[in-house]
Amino acid sequence: MPKNIWIGSKTKKKFKKNIKGVVKGLSRKITVYLTDRESECPNCYYDKLNDRSSGVAKVAPSSPTYFTVGRCPVCGGRGVIITSRKKCINANITWNPTQESLNALSFNEAGSTGVTKVQIKTDPCYLELIRDCKKVILDGVSCKLATPPLLRGLGTESILVAIFFTEDTMKVRE
């Protein structure tokens, strides 16, 4: 095997290990909230005109959720089911990241007075999740996405980097 290829794969492995270390080793659990999903109740007919359940079951009488009187036991008479979507993932959290790393993301400082910036690094597989999120809970603090998340690095060795703002101005005790 040629020497340079051997070094190449070794360096690659080492880099991959470092990335994994960043995500797993120093990471904490963060909660990512996605926009609520509204879907028609699978158990009853939805009454579009009145925006509620028609009160008529659409499942077979043999179904445990079948009903003939009262409210649909699945949607509670709303006709729709609202699914709150959230997911816990591991991420490396940096509160008040250095200006250097912010510049690398073409970060726009305007309009950000009074809020705290926070950078997260995580697995690239969460790109869509982070991009579409409503908010995240970082160390118990509710934050909103400041800039679209970016992938840093190359191909499978990349890492996802995203900047968030705290939703409320954090009170600093002196």
Which phi and psi angles does 58 have, rounded to 5°?
-110, 5
Tokens of 111: 């309009």
Identify the bridge partners of residue 124 per DSSP, sorted by sequence position: none
Q: How far is the CB of 77 from Zn ion (least distance, A)?
A: 7
CA 13 – CA 4 distance, rounded (Å):
14
CA 122 – CA 106 distance, rounded (Å):
19
Nearer to Zn ion, 44 or 91 (CB): 44
CA 117 – CA 57 distance, rounded (Å):
50
Binding of Zn ion at residue 46 (CB under 5 A)?
no
The piece of 66-74, 121-129, 145-153, 154-162 that touches Zn ion (CB under 5 A) is: 66-74
Binding of Zn ion at residue 43 (CB under 5 A)?
yes
Binding of Zn ion at residue 23 (CB under 5 A)?
no
Binding of Zn ion at residue 44 (CB under 5 A)?
yes
Q: How far is the CB of 45 from Zn ion (least distance, A)?
A: 8
Per CB under 5 A, the list member of 23, 30, 32, 74 interacting with Zn ion is 74
Whether the Cβ atoms of residue 55 and residue 77 lie closer than 8 Å to each other: yes
Binding of Zn ion at residue 57 (CB under 5 A)?
no
Binding of Zn ion at residue 41 (CB under 5 A)?
yes
Number of residues engaging Zn ion in binding (CB under 5 A): 7
Per CB under 5 A, the list member of 30, 32, 75, 163 interacting with Zn ion is 75
The closest alpha carbon to 30, from 162, 172, 156, belongs to 162
Tokens of 118: 């926070």
